[in-house]
Amino acid sequence: MRNRDNNQSSAILNGAPFKTLLVFSLPIILGNVFQQLYNIVDAIVVGRFVGDIPLRGISIASPIMDIFYALLLGVSIGVGVLVGRLSGEGNWEKLKRVHITTLFAGGAVSLLFTAIGFLFSRSILLAQGYSEKSVSEAMQYLSIIYAGLIFCFFYNYLASALRSWGNSRVPFVVLLVSSTVHAGLDILLCGVFGLGITGVACSTVFCQILSTLWLALYIEKKCPALSLKGEKIRPDLTLLGSIAAYAWAAALQQAVVTIGRFLVQGMLAPLGESTVTGYNMGVRIEQFLFCFSQGISAAMVVAVAQNMGHGSGKRARTFYYTTLKCMVGLLLLLGSIAFFFAPKLVGIFSDNPDVIEAGTTYLHIMAFLYLLAFFGEAIQSFFRGLGRLRLTMIASVGSIILRVVLSYFLVPLWGIGGICAAVVCGWCLIVFGFGSYSLYCSRRI
């Protein structure tokens, strides 16, 4: 396996960019798909076995849960860029110290998020105008999810570190197995044992623990650059500044998207909880489709970071341009699926015609506009690979602020159509504003 990892890393520095990008991104794409299946399977099982009210509970819980998940994922992505740079430089001693310090710091941040979630989630959901029944269902789910946040971080960070080191296969295999176990446990705990929304939450946390242990054991046996054997297991406080510089901007950049969706969801509440549920089911399908563009972009981040660390700016630029071309091809396939199969896709979650109508409306409007989202992801990933994470954070914050402000004015007029218009305007800000700057930067590296 180590030789395979070395070959994969060598291809990033020396292989044909298009082939390398596709080969390296495939496990990441499949991993993203199975990651999304965690939440999708939860919603399907609850919707089919328990009913509309628990499904609404998961629907309104998801955005607030996703904020914490996005923050922890962002920390993992940010530090992963640093791991990729140090790997490209061959600075193994510093890489090891960064790895150990990140484990301590990330674990502490996870526990802080757990406390915040327990203290404030119920009040926030009630303030958005949801019924007490729906909020109670949501809190049953969230309470268990919050208890497992530390394992969510450990899993995401270890997977990101392995990918940045040059191994995208093992994180995918781990996720494939854990997702399969998760689906089986969902059906067993919720459908057979009747534990309802509590059962699917327990299933999620159990599989995060399983994934964490598997990756940790693999790293100890097969990845000497990240192994803790023979090391002094204590954080290097002198590295906290450089780690935070990579982590905080990426974390905020990941979180603002889910924060924006959370705020926009609240604006839909006056239209009825079925509309909110349908919108959220449409967004779940959207997130599933985005797995493909995000996987290619994540592979490009590693390629750009390692080649910049290796002093190969021209190859980094070639990977960026190749990624943009791939996004056009993705739209032709994924946009068609979203448009022509929207009612059937939303109908997977619920038989409620109001839910299906709301989700279908969202997907029909957005389907062929996803090219803007795909380009935006590639643009921000290019800057992540360069280590300019603050710029990606600024782009995301600006996009989300525009989205929320426009939604405030447009949702009362056009309902879900108003959200669509606001989201597209936010994507345009990134593509036409920061995209032109990315092309300028690419010519100068």
pLDDT band at 9; cut points 50, 70, 90:
low
In sign, the C-alpha dihedral spanning 432, 434, 437, 439 is: negative
Where does residue 392 rank: exposed (0-12), middle (13-18), buried (19+ CB within 10 A)?
Answer: buried
Q: Count CA within 13 A, CB hemisphere, residue 269.
A: 17
Q: Of the spans 14-18, 188-192, 211-215, 302-306, which averages the highest pLDDT?
A: 211-215
In sign, the C-alpha dihedral spanning 330, 331, 333, 335 is: positive
Residue 334: is its pLDDT beyond 50? yes
Residue 2: is its pLDDT beyond 80? no
- State the average pLDDT over residues 160-188: 88
Residue-wise pLDDT tens digits, 376-435: 999 999 998 898 878 888 898 899 899 999 999 999 999 999 999 999 999 999 999 999
Residue-wise pLDDT tens digits, 201-258: 999 999 999 999 999 999 999 988 889 887 788 899 889 988 888 888 778 877 887 8
Q: Which two tokens stand for residue 151?
A: 């394992």
- Biggest alpha carbon distance in the chain? 63
Residue 436: is its pLDDT beyond 50? yes
Residue-wise pLDDT tens digits, 34-57: 878 776 888 888 888 887 788 888
Mean per-residue pLDDT over the chain, rounded? 89
Q: What's the CA gap between 209 and 195, in Å, rounded?
A: 20
Where does residue 289 rank: exposed (0-12), middle (13-18), buried (19+ CB within 10 A)?
Answer: buried
Interacting residues of 310 by C-beta distance below 8 A, sequence separation 6+ = 13, 88, 89
Q: For 291, phi and psi rounded to 5 degrees?
A: -55, -35
The structural domains of the chain, with segments of one domain joined by +, span: 2-444
